[in-house]
Structure 1
Amino acid sequence: MNTSSSPPHSQTPNFQALTAQAELYYAQGQLSEAIACCRQSLNLQPNWASTYVTLANIIQAQGKISEAINLYYRAIELNPDLSQAHVNLGSMFFRQGKLDEAIACYRKAIQLRPDMAVAYWNLAKVWEQAGKLDEAIASKEKALKLNANLGGVEVNLNQGYKLAEEGKLDEAIDSWQRAITLNPNLAEAYSQIGIIFRRQGRFSEAIKYLKKAIEVRPNYATAHQHLCGILRDGNNYAVARQVVSNYYQQCGEIDPIMTGIYLISTYQVSGLNEIAKDRFFDLEAKLKEDMTIVKKVVDLKALYGNFLFSVPYLRDDIQANSDLYKSVSKVYRQFVLKSQNNHFSTPVNFDNKHPLKIGFISNHFNRHSVGWCSLDIIRELAKLNTEIYLYPTERLKVDDQTQKFSQAVTKLYVPKKYPHGSVDVREIITEIQQDKIDILIDLDSLSLPINTEILHHKPAPVCMSWLGFDAPYISENNYFLCDLHTHPQDRDKYYMEKLVRMPNSFVATSGFQRVETNRANLRKSQRIGLDQIVYLCLAPGRKFNRDLAKAQIAILKQVPNSILIHKALGDIEVFQAAYHQACKAEGVSIHRIKFIERFPTEEEHRSIYSLADIMLDSYPYNGGTHTLEALWFNLPVVTLAGEQFLSRMGYSFLQSLDIKLGVAWSWNEYINWGVKLGQNPHLRQEFVDKLVNSQDSENLAPLWNPKKFAQDMYNTIGKL
């Protein structure tokens, strides 16, 4: 018996020509003629396996599946290595719903021909039918790698989305690259690759792909947004403003919400808050007039996570801000959070028999303001009758501070899935519930919307926000941890969450480390005289404004031989222009303003406090970590206190130190305090002495006592 796919030399080749003719008829839909040719071919050569495959293909097209299966089996009997017969037989079993048999056939075909793209493609369909989506995606990806044309542009594009959803980002990029090969003008593919590169920190590559997406489709809003975001966050301020202006020109009419938000944030980080404020008021007026103009989920997410984040930097009006927070968060909860189909079990109330399990969600268990201000407290909490669990809510940038967190707690969870490069909310919630957390504390509020999404699902009996921002306005059943100085008794009506007030301050730290320097040498290196009064401003672009610059220059005018050092993240040309204008108006030399570049590490940065005599705090958003650092290093601070939480941080810190000096309630008072502390060395020394005494171990101020804070916090939250 001849089982090869080649005829013996003694046979006439007409049977091959007849089989080829049959395939031609089959392709043209002339099935009867095709069958006749196959029969003639088999009469001439009854052991030619390929003819049986062709005949089976034609028969199955007539709906005769069982007969086709017998013919494929006959082909395999004659030639067991004929991969096409195994593939086609698998397809017959798939049509009959016999998935195991189909899988076995496709695997055999792949074993015979590992480069057989169609076998992987068909196997993917079986896996999908069987509900094994991971296997389906892997098989389809293999098929498309072997033959990008197999599914066409749309299939490669969609395959990329599926792979990204699974967190398989490199494979997703490969799929989108194949789609681009098939269609070089595919803006979606360029944009998606750029977005993934951005989330991987590969910014140069991301910019290249995002620019290409915009070149292909000039009004492609998503690509504009991510390009603006990279340049804004990468401190390339002038270029960022050009890019966001182009975004507004191209998409302002079709995308008014997002263009407005990106204009605000880009001008804010530059330090152009007056322009940002005008844009803010424009967008707020539109929302007040008709909130239904917000039609897309992506717009709602941006309004909540980005637009509301900008508010306290631009306006200190607790009633107006509260109204805006409530109106936006209401729509956000209704159309974003409640529309999600994630169903989780309701947590049971904890009992007092086991240690209190406290979970923290944040992306800042590292060298970040939230990390610096929370570590000491978390360490002290861990020494009480507790178990502490940390859950990063973005891909964590691990550093030496992360190691300290990890060593202090019961568990620092590392997420396993990163769909589209982000943490999977469902994974974090499931982990929190499996750990049976009693109290879940969010450290970032709406500055990290994934945290508020977790809070919305209430994975623990008690959920609370604290430290990193104002309350998230997510649930009346949740809590916000604060103090009586930041949130006086009449403030509850402005919030959705229940306010829980700590007895002294909303934060505490055991201090900060710095590179020790000699004050005289440091001043000499900066060409500053030992007898000069040095004011320090650390307000970054978001916290900088012309009112602040005017007040600081007004202080310099009244304090001879004084200078101002400005060291912060933002557009240096914007800072210089604002100070130049203020100096010109007051008749003060611009040379009395000195700009210092940022240092590589926080420890090096903190040496700046030994250079200065007085720190001038920002308003309407006070300094947080910077003000704490200044006070710890015994530097007097002038702070302007307002209505909202974030404009009362400096006031709270000084109150917890029992210091009444330096607190202003208007710009005039701010200027007066700056002048008095600059002109009066005795008053300045009194301030310094109070700061020194606050660190006395025998009478340690609450602000420097994280052990006391942790015990107070434990007692307070334990009652909830």
Structure 2
Amino acid sequence: MDYSTTVLSTEKIKVGFIGNCFLTHPVAYQIRAFIRLYNRSEFEFYGYNPWFCSAKEDELSQWFQATFDHFYSFGTDAFGIAQQIHDDKIDVLIDLDSCTSDITYQVLTLKAAAIQATWVGFDAIGLPTVDYFIVDPYVLPQGAQAWYTETLWRLPDCYLSLDGYEVANKAGIREQLGLSTDTVVFMCAQRASKIQPEILKLQFAIVEAVPNAVLIIKYHRSSKVFEEWCRSFAQANQFDVSKLYFLTPNPPQIHRANYYEVDVVLDTYPYAGGGMSLEALWMEVPIVTKVGQQFVARHTYTFLKNVGVEEGIAWTDEEYVNWGIRFGTEPDLRQRVSWKLRQAKRSAPLWNPQRFSREMEKALSAMVHRYRTGELVVPPRHCVGE
């Protein structure tokens, strides 16, 4: 079918979301407020879940299935998924997986919807069939358009907004690890693949410079190999291994409760925290982050900007270490930033999904308007539905 001649719906705008994240998953928490709050009189939302595995015990999965106007579970048939999207006459298809799912990649290649955009995800996918990458003023620097085949669509504040997180009672990690109440606890909570040697050296320098401090590395999956590598790397860099602790995964609500007993979170680089940083900010814990140029290196930066906190934003290795030492040695600074984070929950863009939803709806409506008026020219492509 030649989508350059496709006439979009003149009634509700049909928006499809495709991804493997409609269950307990970091992206699910990042999009659920918008899915809950969208204007149902003007929009109709469709969920397309490739590789779907129904988990009756997964409440978030059940919630998504009940909240979307239409929800589909598929196997690995990319053509079949694209055919359903085409048959549903979707106006805008939102990619939530970006370059992390082969099946989603194949579906996007088939151009089943007139307009396709990437949102949240790992980064833009780089396909000529994807028209937009939804970002904000901070998560990509000015001039970044030259790096992308997609048109960057910048929302006015943050590229996402949350309605908070569920949190268990205190997890008791100090008692679990044998740490006293006056120990200064730095935590790096990320996937092991994000914990690169260069950033680990900076974290070691911070902890060594702060009296009675420790570094807890909480990573995605239990791995003795990874822990042994960290210890060997610490020894090779003359870091006191007795100051190094490890935590392995907990259920999400218990994981977030760990932050009750953490003083400072140390972000990773060049792959910055996404869900982990959001959880720490919700728990009102100061973060030190080094800002890079790429999308993956600027998540925590935009989150901090969108809660009104400048403290902890570093542009160089030296600034990263200095902020870490200051947070570790200045309890008053930690308290001031925690207070700012608490106040931010009242109306800051990061925690104001009502405001975000209206801005996102404006963006989706404008994309459709550009298509209808011919401002967005979609080249003829032959794909499903011929």
Assess same fold via TM > 0.5: yes
- Cα distance in 2 for partners of 1:397, 1:609 equals 31
- Cα distance in 1 for partners of 2:353, 2:321 equals 33
- Cα distance in 1 for partners of 2:50, 2:89 equals 18
Where 1:394 maps in the other structure, the secondary structure is coil
CA change 1:497–1:462 in 2 (3 A) is same
The reply to whether residue 578 of structure 1 matches residue 225 of structure 2 is: no
Corresponding position of 2:33? 376
- Cα distance in 2 for partners of 1:548, 1:583 equals 16
Post-superposition Cα deviations, 1:223-247, rounded to whole Å, max 9, x if no partner, equal xxxxxxxxxxxxxxxxxxxxxxxxx
- Cα distance in 2 for partners of 1:611, 1:383 equals 41
- Cα distance in 2 for partners of 1:477, 1:565 equals 40
CA change 1:414–1:525 in 2 (3 A) is closer
Q: State the Cα RMSD in Å.
A: 1.8
- Cα distance in 2 for partners of 1:486, 1:471 equals 12
CA change 1:477–1:406 in 2 (3 A) is closer
- Cα distance in 2 for partners of 1:348, 1:644 equals 35
Question: Do the aligned residues in 2 keep the contact of 1:536 with 1:612 (CA within 8 Å)?
Answer: yes
CA shift, 1:413, in A, is 1.1
The reply to whether residue 530 of structure 1 matches residue 177 of structure 2 is: no
- Cα distance in 1 for partners of 2:41, 2:217 equals 42
Question: Do the aligned residues in 2 keep the contact of 1:548 with 1:619 (CA within 8 Å)?
Answer: yes
Identity across the alignment (%): 32
Superposition pairs of residues 24-39 of structure 1, within 5 angstroms? none
Corresponding position of 1:541? 192
Corresponding position of 2:219? 568
Q: How many aligned positions are there?
A: 363
- Cα distance in 1 for partners of 2:211, 2:262 equals 16
- Cα distance in 1 for partners of 2:41, 2:304 equals 28
Corresponding position of 1:408? 67
Question: Do the aligned residues in 1 keep the contact of 2:227 with 2:246 (CA within 8 Å)?
Answer: no
- Cα distance in 1 for partners of 2:215, 2:279 equals 18
Question: Do the aligned residues in 2 keep the contact of 1:534 with 1:564 (CA within 8 Å)?
Answer: yes
Question: Do the aligned residues in 1 keep the contact of 2:116 with 2:129 (CA within 8 Å)?
Answer: no
Corresponding position of 1:448? 101
Corresponding position of 1:509? 162
Superposition pairs of residues 283-298 of structure 1, within 5 angstroms? none
Post-superposition Cα deviations, 1:559-603, rounded to whole Å, max 9, x if no partner, equal 0001111111353333343344335534x421111112221x111
- Cα distance in 1 for partners of 2:225, 2:77 equals 40
Post-superposition Cα deviations, 1:326-355, rounded to whole Å, max 9, x if no partner, equal xxxxxxxxxxxxxxxxxx56372324x411
- Cα distance in 1 for partners of 2:40, 2:282 equals 24
Name the amino acid aligned to 2:124: A
Question: Do the aligned residues in 2 keep the contact of 1:482 with 1:501 (CA within 8 Å)?
Answer: yes
Question: Do the aligned residues in 1 keep the contact of 2:141 with 2:293 (CA within 8 Å)?
Answer: no
The reply to whether residue 461 of structure 1 matches residue 108 of structure 2 is: no
Corresponding position of 2:92? 439
The reply to whether residue 636 of structure 1 matches residue 293 of structure 2 is: no
- Cα distance in 1 for partners of 2:54, 2:140 equals 33
CA shift, 1:535, in A, is 0.3
- Which stretch has the larger CA shift, 474-483 or 623-632? 474-483
CA shift, 1:540, in A, is 1.8
- Cα distance in 1 for partners of 2:279, 2:46 equals 27
Superposition pairs of residues 163-562 of structure 1, within 5 angstroms? 344=1, 346=3, 348-351=6-9, 353-381=10-38, 383=40, 385-398=42-55, 399-415=58-74, 418=75, 423-475=76-128, 478-517=131-170, 521-562=172-213
Q: Which runs of 5 or more structure 1 residues have no equivalent in the other structure?
A: 1-343
Name the amino acid aligned to 1:581: F
Corresponding position of 1:248? none
- Cα distance in 1 for partners of 2:39, 2:102 equals 27
CA shift, 1:523, in A, is 2.3
Where 2:182 maps in the other structure, the secondary structure is coil
Post-superposition Cα deviations, 1:182-204, rounded to whole Å, max 9, x if no partner, equal xxxxxxxxxxxxxxxxxxxxxxx
- Cα distance in 1 for partners of 2:79, 2:129 equals 22
- Cα distance in 2 for partners of 1:476, 1:431 equals 18
CA change 1:349–1:583 in 2 (3 A) is farther
CA change 1:430–1:526 in 2 (3 A) is same
Corresponding position of 1:658? 308
Superposition pairs of residues 143-154 of structure 1, within 5 angstroms? none
Corresponding position of 1:594? 245
Where 1:639 maps in the other structure, the secondary structure is strand
CA shift, 1:367, in A, is 0.7
- Cα distance in 2 for partners of 1:522, 1:472 equals 39
Corresponding position of 1:322? none
Where 1:489 maps in the other structure, the secondary structure is coil
Post-superposition Cα deviations, 1:240-289, rounded to whole Å, max 9, x if no partner, equal xxxxxxxxxxxxxxxxxxxxxxxxxxxxxxxxxxxxxxxxxxxxxxxxxx
Corresponding position of 1:711? 358
Q: Which has the higher helix share?
A: 1
Post-superposition Cα deviations, 1:67-98, rounded to whole Å, max 9, x if no partner, equal xxxxxxxxxxxxxxxxxxxxxxxxxxxxxxxx
CA shift, 1:497, in A, is 0.7
CA change 1:539–1:356 in 2 (3 A) is same
CA shift, 1:458, in A, is 1.8
Larger radius of gyration: 1
Q: Which runs of 5 or more structure 2 residues have no equivalent in the other structure?
A: 368-386
- Cα distance in 1 for partners of 2:323, 2:304 equals 14
Name the amino acid aligned to 1:454: V
Name the amino acid aligned to 1:585: N
CA change 1:435–1:476 in 2 (3 A) is closer
- Cα distance in 2 for partners of 1:576, 1:665 equals 30
Q: Which has the higher strand share?
A: 2
Name the amino acid aligned to 1:566: I
- Cα distance in 2 for partners of 1:638, 1:583 equals 24
Question: Do the aligned residues in 1 keep the contact of 2:313 with 2:320 (CA within 8 Å)?
Answer: yes
Where 1:627 maps in the other structure, the secondary structure is helix
CA change 1:662–1:572 in 2 (3 A) is farther
Where 1:547 maps in the other structure, the secondary structure is helix
Corresponding position of 2:384? none
Question: Do the aligned residues in 2 keep the contact of 1:360 with 1:389 (CA within 8 Å)?
Answer: yes
Tell me which of 588, 603, 612 is aligned to 2:262: 612
CA shift, 1:677, in A, is 0.5
Question: Do the aligned residues in 1 keep the contact of 2:91 with 2:113 (CA within 8 Å)?
Answer: yes
- Which stretch has the larger CA shift, 648-657 or 474-483? 474-483
Post-superposition Cα deviations, 1:518-565, rounded to whole Å, max 9, x if no partner, equal 7xx552333111111100011222101211221111001110001111
- Cα distance in 2 for partners of 1:457, 1:584 equals 50
- Cα distance in 2 for partners of 1:489, 1:397 equals 42
Where 2:237 maps in the other structure, the secondary structure is helix
- Cα distance in 1 for partners of 2:249, 2:108 equals 36
